[in-house]
Amino acid sequence: MSSRLGTVVVTGAAGRIGSVVRQRLRAEVRQLVLVDRLPLRPQSSVERAVRLDVADLDAMVAACEGADAVVHLAGLPDEAPLADLLDRNVLGTYHVLEAARRQHVGRVVLASSNRVTGCYPVGQVVAPDAPVRPDGFYGVGKVAVEALGRLYADKFGLSVVCLRIGSFEDEPTEPRHLATWLSPRDCVGFVRAAIVAADVRFVTAYAVSANTRRFWDTAAGAQLGYLPVDDAESYAGRMPGSAVPHDPAALQGGVYASPAYSLRHVVAPPPALLKDGGTGSATPA
C-alpha cells in the first residue's frame, strides 16, 4: 500500500469517531467513501457519500468497489439487548468483511473495544493475546467482531486490524479516563497506522493514548507503527478524585462491568399464558 491512503471506505462516518477520522484523513486519500445510515454531504472533492445500512450486504459490496481499505466504525456504541448487538454489530461486521473479500480490499480496520477485557482487575496489565473477559453484552459482541476478523484473515486471506478503542473523548472527564483515554489525535494516528502498516495478516491492538496510568499493553500498536503522544495525566489536576489511588482489585471496565449496567438490557421472560389448568407451566424467576 502506498504512502497515500488510496480509496478508503469509512462506515459510521456520521458518528463521533467517524467524523474525526473523516476530517483528518481527507487530505491523505485519493477518495473517501463515507458510509452511514444518516445522510451526509461531501465537504471536498475527494469525498463521496453513500447512504446505506451495513445490514444490506449487496449495498455494502457496491460501496467497497475499488477500495484500498475499509475502516468499519458503524454499529451500536454501548450496552444494549444482546439480540440488537448481534444484529447491528456482529452481522454488520460480517457484511463488511464479506464485502471486502468480494471486492479484494487490501486492508480492513475493525473498531473493537477495550471492553472485551473489562473484567480484568486494574492491577493487571492486559495484552491483546490474553483471554477475553468481556464486561457486558457489548463486549461479547466485540469479541465476536474480532473472531470474525480472525476467521476472514485465516480462511480467506484478508488483511485485518482490530483496534480495541479506549475512552474516546476530547478530554478525559473522570478518574477512569486517566488510564483509558483515547484522544482524537491518537485515535486518528492509530487508524492511519492500521490502514498503512505493512505485512499484516491479523493484528489486535489497544488504541489508547500514552496515559501514565494505562493498564493495557500497547506493544501491538507500536508494531503497527504508531506511538501515541497524549497523556491524560496532564488533566489530572483539574479532575475530582484523581488523587485517590485505583483499587488494584477493581475491574478495568468500571461501571460498565457492574451487573446493573447489563441487567437493564436483559429481556424479561414472557409471563405464563395459562396459570390455572393450562398446558403450560410457570417457572420461578
Structural domain boundaries of the chain? 7-263
pLDDT of residue 272: 55
DSSP bridge pairs for 164: 112, 206
CA distance 164 to 271: 39
Across the beta sheet with 31-36, the strand order is: 47-51, 31-36, 7-11, 69-72, 107-113, 160-165, 202-207
Dist. CA 71–CA 192, nearest whole Å: 10
Q: Is 8 exposed, middle or buried (0-12, 13-18, 19+ CB in 10 A)?
A: buried
Dist. CA 26–CA 32, nearest whole Å: 7
**CA distances in angstroms from 199 to 12, 168, 207, listed in the order given:** 27, 28, 19
Beta bridge partners of 126: 216
- Per-residue confidence (pLDDT) for residue 267, from 0 to 100: 77
Per-residue pLDDT of the chain (285 residues), as tens digits, is 344 799 999 999 999 999 999 999 999 999 999 999 999 999 999 999 999 999 999 999 999 999 999 999 999 999 999 999 999 999 999 999 999 999 999 999 999 999 999 999 999 999 999 999 999 999 999 999 999 999 999 999 999 999 999 999 999 999 999 999 999 999 999 999 999 999 999 999 999 999 999 999 999 999 999 999 999 999 999 998 899 888 999 999 999 999 999 999 997 665 654 444 333 333 333
pLDDT of residue 159: 98
Among residues 94, 120, 138, 152, which one is catalytic?
138
Any catalytic annotation for residue 120? no
Domain 7-263 architecture: 3-Layer(aba) Sandwich (3.40)
The model's pTM: 0.92
